[in-house]
Structure formats: C-alpha cells, structure tokens
C-alpha cells in the first residue's frame, strides 16, 4: 500500500477530511522517526484498531534542552516510510519546525507536579514541550485513538492527565514495551551506543528484573527494593544511573515504606551519548 505524505496542515486536512467524511476512524501514532520495533508495535496496534492510521514524524525542538541531542537525533526518513507502508499505515504527517511553530508562536502547555519528578528533574523543559506538541498533533489530526508506548511511562501518564483535564476528545491507548533479545528496551537512541556501551546497557532491564523478582519473593520494603536495583546497575561502569525509583503509578509520589501492587519501578541512565529509560510495574505475585 502506498503511503500518503503530508508536510503542511492544509495538505493533511485535505487528506484526512476525506477519510472522516467516509466515516473512517483515525488512529494517530506520534513519533520522532528513526523507527524501530517499538514504534512498529504501536503502528500495528493502530492498524488493527482503526480504519486509517496516521504516523507523525517530527523531531520536536521544544522538548530538547540545551546540550541535548536535538542536532544529532537520527534521521532515516526513507526507511521509516518503507516500514510504515509495510505495516499498513496510510498517512505520514511530517511537518517542518516552521509549520508546527510559525513566526510569532508563543503558547505552551504547562502541568504542575507530575512534570517535576523522574525525567522532569534532569529535563526540566521536556514535558512542557512534549505536551504542547502532542496537543497540537491532536488538533491537527483529530484522531479517535492515539497510541503511546509504556516505555515512556511518565509521558503517557501526563498525556492521559492532559486529555482528562482539558477534555480533549481522544482515546489514549498505551502499548507494552518492545525489547531487544537481551532485554534492552528498543529506543532510537540505542544507535548512539558503542558496542561496549550497548552490551552494558542491558543492565537496566536486569536491574528492574532483580527488583521485580525480589517483590515476587515477598520483599516489600521500597528502600530495600530500590537499593537492590542500584546494586545490580553498579555492575556496569559505563551506565550512570540518573534515577532508579519506586513511585505511585498515578501520582508519581516516591514510595516510602511498603511497596504496593501497581507501583512503578522506573530507571533512567546515561550511557555514553545516550540517556536511556525503562520501567515496569509490580503486579500481584
Ligand atoms: P519517540 O519516537 O521516541 O518519541 O517514540 C514514539 C512513541 O513510541 C512513544 O509513544 C514511545 O513511548 C514509543 N516507544 C518508543 N520505544 C518503544 C518501545 N521500545 N516499545 C514500545 N513503545 C516504544
């Protein structure tokens, strides 16, 4: 199936209005491109659930901080379009920064509290930029359902919160984390890793696994569970932990005392040029 590429809002609406007029449901998968198996799983889910799927590819300058990888973020548009077409994605929405933020643009979505913890600590402007662009994408595409990855758990929580608070008429579906064979969560940023860094990066999933195993074994003390994770991560000298924490999955409050079913165990680490994240939740054992 051919994929239809839109680069302006006018082009996009021209195509999507026809789909809406025909009564088709629209699914949106927002991405920054350099697509991998994680993105593919979201698109496949969207294709299964919606009549028409739009994947956006936009490296959003407003979610990168000073000194981050905006300038070096991988771009591989031809490969991305081929993958999307093979998955049955009908539309690619690829706006330029100028189309998204024309001269004079000065509005930003801001959220209290939930943006100040976990990734918000080392990336203070990040989530404001994410929420702003995602809200714009919702208005441009007008999807019935939008698909996000559990890998960026905090992001998906904030988006669910924004949709509820601002009464945005879209259904949010969060899809499971797709991993490499050694357990490393797939990420466009894994491309930055040297072979040795790539090897050591798998410690993140192992550390989460050890914490989860201890939970399943009956350990409930949140501080001891976190300490176990840190101990495992320390085995890999090229991995510098930013945070490894257990938090309430809805409020993101740091868990003190006993960990609970549903709690989030989240990790972020700097590995070479990359900052990688991963997470899981405690389930009934
Ligand atoms: P990005 O291109 O990194 O902005 O990611 C676009 C979407 O893909 C986000 O909703 C991510 O959470 C999701 N995603 C990224 N990596 C994975 C993965 N390994 N498994 C599942 N979803 C992912």
152 touches ligand 1 (CB under 6 Å): yes
Residues 221, 156 share a domain: no
pLDDT at residue 135, as a whole number: 98
147 touches ligand 1 (CB under 6 Å): no
31 touches ligand 1 (CB under 6 Å): yes
- Which residue among 28, 42, 191 has the greatest number of ligand 1 atoms within 8 angstroms of its CB, and so is best to mutate? 42
pLDDT at residue 161, as a whole number: 98
Instruction: List the CATH number of the domain containing 77.
Output: 3.40.50.620
pLDDT at residue 1, as a whole number: 72
> Considering the domain boundaries, does residue 182 fall inside one?
no
Which residue has the CA at smallest separation from atom 14 of ligand 1? Answer: 149
State the closest ligand 1 atom to the C-alpha of 34, by its place in the atom list counted from 1: 2
Per-residue pLDDT of the chain (285 residues; tens, 9 = 90+): 799 999 999 999 999 999 999 999 999 999 999 999 999 999 999 999 999 999 999 999 999 999 999 999 999 999 999 999 999 999 999 999 999 999 999 999 999 999 999 999 999 999 999 999 999 999 999 999 999 999 999 999 999 999 999 999 999 999 999 999 999 999 999 999 999 999 999 999 999 999 999 999 999 999 999 999 999 999 999 999 999 999 999 999 999 999 999 999 999 999 999 999 999 999 996
List, in order, residues 6 or more apart from 185 with CB less than 8 Å away: 38, 151, 177, 178, 179, 204, 205, 276, 277, 278
Active-site residue set: 39
| Contact yes or no for 148/42 (Cβ under 8 A) | yes
Distance CA 159, CA 127 (A): 10
Which residue has the CA at smallest separation from atom 22 of ligand 1? Answer: 149
Which residue has the CA at smallest separation from atom 17 of ligand 1? Answer: 38
pLDDT at residue 281, as a whole number: 98
42 touches ligand 1 (CB under 6 Å): yes
Residues 146, 270 share a domain: no
178 touches ligand 1 (CB under 6 Å): yes
Distance CA 74, CA 272 (A): 16
pLDDT at residue 222, as a whole number: 98
Residues 223, 82 share a domain: no
Ligand 1: centre distance to CA 266 (Å):
15
> Considering the domain boundaries, does residue 208 fall inside one?
yes
CA 109 to chain centre: 18
Domain that holds residue 195: 188-281
Which residue has the CA at smallest separation from atom 10 of ligand 1? Answer: 148
Total domains, the chain = 2
| Contact yes or no for 174/49 (Cβ under 8 A) | no
State the closest ligand 1 atom to the C-alpha of 148, by its place in the atom list counted from 1: 10
pLDDT at residue 15, as a whole number: 97
> Considering the domain boundaries, does residue 183 fall inside one?
no
> Considering the domain boundaries, does residue 114 fall inside one?
yes
> Considering the domain boundaries, does residue 74 fall inside one?
yes
- Which residue among 27, 38, 170 has the greatest number of ligand 1 atoms within 8 angstroms of its CB, and so is best to mutate? 38
Half-sphere exposure of 7 (CA within 13 A, CB side): 3
> Considering the domain boundaries, does residue 180 fall inside one?
no
pLDDT at residue 11, as a whole number: 98
Burial category of 241 from C-beta neighbours within 10 Å (exposed 0-12, middle 13-18, buried 19 and up): middle
34 touches ligand 1 (CB under 6 Å): no
């Amino acid at each position: 199936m051919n994929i239809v590429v839109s680069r302006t809002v006018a082009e996009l609406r021209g195509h999507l209005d026809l789909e809406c007029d025909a009564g088709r449901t629209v699914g949106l998968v927002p991405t920054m491109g350099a697509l991998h198996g994680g993105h593919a799983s979201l698109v496949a889910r969207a294709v299964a659930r919606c009549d028409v799927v739009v994947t956006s590819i936009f490296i959003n300058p407003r979610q990168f901080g000073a000194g981050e990888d905006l300038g070096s973020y991988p771009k591989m548009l031809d490969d991305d379009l081929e993958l999307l077409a093979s998955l049955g994605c009908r539309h690619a929405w690829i706006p330029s920064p100028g189309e998204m933020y024309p001269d004079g643009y000065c509005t930003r979505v801001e959220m209290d509290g939930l943006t100040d913890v976990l990734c918000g600590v080392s990336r203070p402007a990040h989530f404001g930029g994410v929420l702003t662009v995602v809200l714009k994408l919702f208005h441009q595409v007008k999807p019935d359902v939008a698909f996000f990855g559990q890998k960026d758990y905090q992001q998906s929580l904030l988006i669910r919160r924004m949709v509820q608070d601002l009464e945005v008429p879209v259904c949010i579906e969060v899809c499971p984390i797709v991993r490499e064979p050694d357990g490393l969560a797939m990420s466009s940023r894994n491309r930055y890793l040297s072979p040795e860094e790539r090897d050591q990066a798998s410690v993140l999933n192992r550390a989460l696994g050890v914490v989860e195993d201890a939970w399943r074994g009956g350990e409930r003390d949140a501080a001891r569970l976190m300490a176990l994770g840190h101990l495992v991560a320390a085995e890999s000298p090229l991995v510098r932990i930013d945070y490894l924490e257990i938090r309430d999955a809805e409020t993101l409050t740091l868990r003190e005392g006993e960990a609970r079913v549903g709690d989030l165990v989240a990790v972020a680490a700097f590995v070479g040029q990359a900052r990688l994240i991963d997470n899981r939740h405690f389930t009934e054992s």
